[in-house]
């Protein structure tokens, strides 16, 4: 695993993350998401919608190189995960180097 994937797993295991499109959208609307991670999916409209919502809310978005099954497996789940938001990074340093656009 790369450092990035290790950080995702550590954040899910030790922190708080919202898994799935509806939960991610909720975390954006509630302003609790600190980072959005999107898997490669077939429906680009959904990705664009979430990216737009995150941009408006000034939340960073990272694209995961694998598909939703890969992301689900990385999160330790037996199902696909097309999107996740990091609410609390826990013991990971996944948010290191990220800053809100308004802080630039």
Whether 67 is in a domain gets the answer yes
Q: Are 36 and 83 in contact (CB under 8 A)?
A: yes
Q: Which of 28, 24, 9, 14 is nearest to 70 (CA)?
A: 9
pTM for the model stands at: 0.88
Q: Are 33 and 60 in contact (CB under 8 A)?
A: no
What is the span of the domain harbouring residue 32?
19-89
Number of structural domains (the chain) is 1
Q: Quick one: average pLDDT of 73-80? A: 96
Whether 3 is in a domain gets the answer no
| pLDDT: which is higher, 76 or 47 | 76
Predicted confidence band at 90 (pLDDT cuts at 50, 70, 90)? very high
CATH number of domain containing 26:
3.30.1330.30
Whether 72 is in a domain gets the answer yes
Predicted confidence band at 42 (pLDDT cuts at 50, 70, 90)? low
Q: Are 79 and 20 in contact (CB under 8 A)?
A: no
pLDDT at position 99: 57
Q: Are 64 and 39 in contact (CB under 8 A)?
A: yes
Whether 5 is in a domain gets the answer no
């Amino acid at each position: 695993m790369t450092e990035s994937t290790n950080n995702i797993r550590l954040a899910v295991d030790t922190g708080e993350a919202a898994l799935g499109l509806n939960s991610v959208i909720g975390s954006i609307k509630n302003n609790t998401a600190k980072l959005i991670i999107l898997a490669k999916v077939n429906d680009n409209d959904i990705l664009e919608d979430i990216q737009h919502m995150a941009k408006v809310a000034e939340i960073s978005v990272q694209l995961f190189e694998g598909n939703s099954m890969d992301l689900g497996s990385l999160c330790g789940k037996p199902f696909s995960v097309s999107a996740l938001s990091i609410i609390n990074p826990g013991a990971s340093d996944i948010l290191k180097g990220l800053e809100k656009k308004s802080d630039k």
